[in-house]
Structures are given as structure tokens and as C-alpha cells.
């Protein structure tokens, strides 16, 4: 047994554990109530994908690791769902790639920003950005536009897990490379991302970290070779096909 009263042998163990974490996140004021709905949408796509990381997605995760290592200033954007689901994994990836962590919320409240910052600190994060919000992403009229001048605003590579749409495009228009984790290949954010990662954030983050550790000693030229020739369309097409047919 783990932190929920379900045996690990239960066929839906992982999914039930994930739901419990989101529920807990809502209770602690970390996750927005809408996060429960987002989780349900994600679960449905994951079920259809066979709850696995497809080979083309694993390649995208390696490319994402190379981008983070190659970046001048990489930032991992944190919302209420990922803070509840994968706090340790976010911190580990930030450490492996030298990335900053920045809280950026769709349903932004100062209370929730501070609750997430505290939660990440309790999990061992040293610095968490997102409280200053002294800059704006041009062209966005909602709360996600609020970013730190020395965080996402300055970043050249941003990892965005579970986005809801138009920020991906706005960040791309600012010349940033966006790496998007989202289980729905038809969603607007993976469709506009430089690197769409159609995977559950629970599998994706540790896998990107594994690739980053593997590439830790690679030269800039070697990282560029990993990135070169990557075709985002292939990932979107293959994952959509897998969802529709249940195949690879
Ligand atoms: O904490 P906030 O205020 O920033 O709000 C965050 C949510 C996620 C509630 C907000 O961004 C939202 O409403 O998002 P959407 O529009 O529901 O989109 C979430 C996307 O993430 C959907 O395409 C889901 O399929 C996908 N998704 C959900 N859970 C996971 C996921 N993708 C990867 N891993 C998951 N565990």
C-alpha cells in the first residue's frame, strides 16, 4: 500500500494514485478545481494511448532534454496540476538541466501562487520564480501573461506541461522554443510547440531527466545533432493514429 488505500496490484493503481494527488492538491489549495476536469481529460487520452510512452514520444523527450541543456536560460513552467502530481520530478529535472522553476497559472490567485511556491520548497526546491510577475507576455489578455522578468520573460527555452492553448503561440512569437507536455495531440499547445510531448507528465518528466543525464557530457554540436531533423508533425501524427487505432 502507498499513500492511498489501494493495493499496488490493483489494475488502476497508477490512475487512482494520480487522482488522489490531484484531489489532495485541491484540498491544499495548490490545484484549481478545474484541474480535476483537466485530469479527467488527460486520463481519457492516456487510456486510449495504452498508458505508455510511444517510441516517437521518447525521441521527443530526448530532443526536449537536448534543448534544455543547450539553452541559455531554460525555465520549467509550473501550474496547479503538475505541482500536485510531480513536485519531486520537476525539481530533479530542473537540477539535471540547470533550469529555473516558475509558477504560472491560468486561474491565478496570489494565494495559490504562494501555496505552490511553498509546496515546491517543502519538496526541496531552492528558488521558485513566479511571485514577482513584473512582465507580460505580449498578445495574451489572461492571467497566464504575467511572468517574471528574470524568468519566463527572459527564457529562450520553456517547458510547459498541461497548457490550455494560446500561450504556446504567444511564446513562440517572442522567439522562444516551447516544449509542451500534453496527452491530447489535437490540443492547440502541442500543435504549435517546437517539441510536442504527447505523454502523461508522470512518465514524461522522469524520462526527460533520464535523457538529460545521458546527454550531460555531450558537446554543443552533439546536442545540436540530437535536435536536428526532429519533426514535430511525426509525433502528432503517430500519437493521433495510436489513439484512433490502439496500435503503435
Ligand atoms: O493551475 P492552473 O490555474 O494554471 O490551471 C491548470 C489547468 C490544467 C486546470 C488549465 O490549464 C486547464 O484548464 O487546462 P485544460 O484546458 O483542461 O487543458 C489541460 C490539457 O492537459 C488537456 O489537453 C489534457 O488532455 C492534458 N492533461 C491532463 N492531465 C495530463 C495532461 N497531459 C499530460 N499529463 C497529464 N497528467
CATH number for the domain that contains residue 91:
3.40.50.12640
Binding site members: 19, 41, 182-184, 188-189, 200-201
Q: Is residue 132 part of a domain?
A: yes
Q: Is residue 190 part of a domain?
A: yes
Residue 111: partners with Cβ closer than 8 Å, 6 or more residues away: 29
Asked whether the beta carbons of 72 and 212 are under 8 A apart, the reply is: no
Instruction: Please give the share of the chain, as a percent, with pLDDT higher than 70.
Output: 97
Average pLDDT in the 65-94 region?
A: 98
Q: Is residue 41 part of a domain?
A: no
**Helix, strand or coil for residue 246?**
coil
Longest dimension (CA), the chain: 49
Average pLDDT in the 131-142 region?
A: 92
Q: How many domains does the chain have?
A: 1
Average pLDDT in the 169-187 region?
A: 94
Instruction: State the closest ligand 1 atom to the C-alpha of 144, by its place in the atom list counted from 1.
Output: 4
Q: Is residue 20 part of a domain?
A: no
- pLDDT attached to residue 3: 56
Decide whether any atom of ligand 1 lies within 6 Å of the 32 Cβ. yes
Q: Please, is 60 exposed, middle or buried when counting C-beta atoms within 10 Å of its C-beta (0-12, 13-18, 19+)?
A: buried
- pLDDT attached to residue 17: 86
Nearest to 209 by CA among 65, 99, 59: 65
Average pLDDT in the 1-17 region?
A: 71
pLDDT at 6 over 80: no
pLDDT at 1 over 50: no
Cell of 135: 512582465
Residue nearest to atom 21 of ligand 1 (CA): 162
Q: Is residue 150 part of a domain?
A: yes
Decide whether any atom of ligand 1 lies within 6 Å of the 200 Cβ. yes
Q: Is residue 10 part of a domain?
A: no
Specify the DSSP class assigned to residue 53.
-
Average pLDDT in the 15-25 region?
A: 91
Residue 48: partners with Cβ closer than 8 Å, 6 or more residues away: 242, 243, 246
Q: Is residue 160 part of a domain?
A: yes
Average pLDDT in the 73-101 region?
A: 98
Q: Is residue 122 part of a domain?
A: yes
- pLDDT attached to residue 2: 45
State the residue range of the domain holding 220: 55-244
Amino acid at each position: 500500500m502507498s499513500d492511498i488505500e489501494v493495493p499496488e496490484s490493483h489494475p488502476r493503481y497508477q490512475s487512482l494514485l494520480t487522482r488522489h494527488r490531484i484531489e489532495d492538491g485541491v484540498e491544499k489549495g495548490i490545484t484549481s478545481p478545474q484541474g480535476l476536469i483537466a485530469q479527467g481529460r488527460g486520463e481519457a487520452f492516456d487510456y486510449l494511448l495504452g498508458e505508455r510512452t510511444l517510441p516517437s514520444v521518447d525521441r521527443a523527450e530526448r530532443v526536449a532534454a537536448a534543448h534544455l541543456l543547450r539553452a541559455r536560460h531554460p525555465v520549467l513552467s509550473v501550474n496547479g496540476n503538475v505541482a500536485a502530481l510531480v513536485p519531486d520530478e520537476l525539481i530533479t529535472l530542473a537540477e539535471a538541466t540547470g533550469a529555473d522553476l516558475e509558477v504560472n497559472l491560468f486561474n491565478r490567485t496570489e494565494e495559490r501562487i504562494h501555496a505552490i511556491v511553498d509546496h515546491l520548497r517543502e519538496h526541496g526546491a531552492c528558488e521558485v520564480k513566479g511571485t514577482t510577475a513584473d512582465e507580460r507576455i505580449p498578445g495574451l489578455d489572461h492571467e497566464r501573461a504575467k511572468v517574471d522578468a528574470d524568468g519566463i520573460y527572459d527564457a529562450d527555452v520553456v517547458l510547459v506541461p498541461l497548457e490550455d492553448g494560446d500561450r504556446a503561440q504567444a511564446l513562440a512569437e517572442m522567439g522562444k522554443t516551447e516544449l509542451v507536455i500534453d496527452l491530447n495531440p489535437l490540443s492547440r499547445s502541442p500543435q504549435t510547440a517546437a517539441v510536442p510531448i504527447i505523454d502523461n507528465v508522470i512518465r514524461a518528466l522522469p524520462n526527460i531527466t533520464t535523457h538529460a543525464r545521458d546527454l550531460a557530457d555531450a558537446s554543443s554540436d552533439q546536442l545540436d545533432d540530437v535536435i536536428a531533423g526532429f519533426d514535430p508533425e511525426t509525433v502528432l501524427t503517430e500519437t493521433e493514429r495510436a489513439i484512433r487505432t490502439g496500435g503503435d
